[in-house]
Amino acid sequence: YIGDVRDVSSVRGAVEGVDYVFHAAALKQVPSCEYFPSEAVYTNVLGAENALNAAYDAGVKTFVGVSTDKAVAPVNVMGMTKALQERLVIQSNLRAGSPRGVAVRYGNVLSSRGSVIPLFKDQISKGAPLTITDSEMTRFLLTLDEAVDIIVDAIESGNRGDIFVPSAPSANMVDLARLLSGKENPEMVFI
């Protein structure tokens, strides 16, 4: 079903007759959200509210909101909007007859679209310097299987209002750049 999370009637059509909603629609790239904060609010906050309202209207059993580690003490627009999404999911449980609302919060899924590994691979293939925010920058990394497992855990054992946070290893981005480039000192630009 193709639709627009910003359009509640579109979302209503998508959730009709379903038992579980996995809300993963988001503007998730930090720079895009910084440059266009209202777009981040429309998608990440109001889109989540549309999905929650549509799930309520359709009698959905469980609503799982997919969030990010950036929602904890957020310092950027993306993190702020995802923190608001989490609160909407938690608050939705107060509504009589609402779906069980739970959230999952994790870091970067390895090789997912927009993540650092495809970015570094693209820069390496072009012979371009690897762009890193800061030399001390780290990222929590999960495999796709681990990301799916946390969602399954939320469905199987989540109580209303729970936020599931997996234990994920962090990696220093300079170390990751070295590993992917195969060089001890690849050309890096700290942005």
Catalytic residues: 70
Three-class SS state of 139: strand
Under 8 Å between Cβ of 140 and 55: no
Q: How many CA atoms lie within 13 A of 179 on its CB side?
A: 8
Largest CA distance in the chain: 58
Under 8 Å between Cβ of 150 and 186: no
Helix, strand, coil shares of the chain, percent, nearest 5, are: 45, 20, 35
Cα distance between residue 87 and residue 128, in whole Å: 40
Number of H helices, E strands in the chain: 8, 9
Q: What beta strand segments (E) does 16-117 contain?
A: 20-23, 62-68, 100-106, 108-109
